[in-house]
Amino acid sequence: MFGPVEIIVNNAAYCNPDTFEPQEHFEKKTGATSDTISLESFEQHFAVNTRAPVFLMEELVRRHVSRKGKWRRIINISTDWAECFPTEISYGASKAATEAFSRAAAVELGKYGITVNIIGPGPIQTGWMSKEVEEAQANAAPLKKIGMPEDIADVVVFLASDQARWITGQRLFVGGGNRIV
């Protein structure tokens, strides 16, 4: 038996680039492809990136309160551009909504010993970046490299530890300085 769940890391993500611009105008202007926003795309982003984390958080809280637990950790993985993500508007908006839920949860759940924090990763190579994109992202970042999954995992371990007991309701940008340029 493993015992009760004490730490949740909401790391699942769905991203299909979308924009308000009509597709033909967007492609002509940027040379890239991005779908024009649709109800289906909007709902898929919010189902995975917002609804799932919110109800996993709710389940953890319900179980925690019923067993009169002492502490729990909720860590939600977002993005470093949640508040404005042109060309990925549904992705950014769904992550921004999760961040809003996270901050509200931090206020409401502190009295139960639950901390809720957000990690806003910069570009992380999980297989989605071509060599050209990887080089461009690295050249634009102050540390001149892109992140790897272990860069995020290290911060998750910290936030899940007792060392982070006094941190709640915060978004930590983890992107090698990507956010400051």
pLDDT tens-digit map of 87-120 = 899 999 999 999 999 999 999 999 999 999 999 9
Edge-to-edge strand order for the sheet containing 171-174? 7-10, 72-77, 114-121, 171-174
User: In the chain, where are the structural domains located?
Assistant: 7-180
Catalytic position from the list 26, 46, 81, 91: 91
Residue 29 has pLDDT above 80, yes or no: no
Known active-site residue 91: yes
53 within 8 A of 10, measured Cβ to Cβ: yes
Higher pLDDT, 21 or 170: 170
pLDDT reported for residue 18: 93
Q: Render pLDDT for 132-180 as a digit per residue (tens, 0 to 9).
A: 999 999 999 999 999 999 999 999 999 999 999 999 999 999 999 988 8
Model pTM score: 0.92
Q: Render pLDDT for 40-73 as a digit per residue (tens, 0 to 9).
A: 999 999 999 999 999 999 999 999 999 999 999 9
Residue 31 has pLDDT above 80, yes or no: no
Note the Cα 21 to chain centre separation in Å: 25
CATH of domain 7-180: 3.40.50.720
* Single-letter residue type at 128: W
pLDDT reported for residue 162: 97
CA 176/CA 67 separation, integer angstroms: 40
pLDDT reported for residue 24: 73
- 18 φψ region: left (φ > 0), alpha (ψ -120 to 50), beta (else): beta
pLDDT reported for residue 140: 92
Here the tokens at position 128 are: 């989605």
pLDDT reported for residue 34: 75
CA 73/CA 114 separation, integer angstroms: 6
pLDDT reported for residue 69: 94
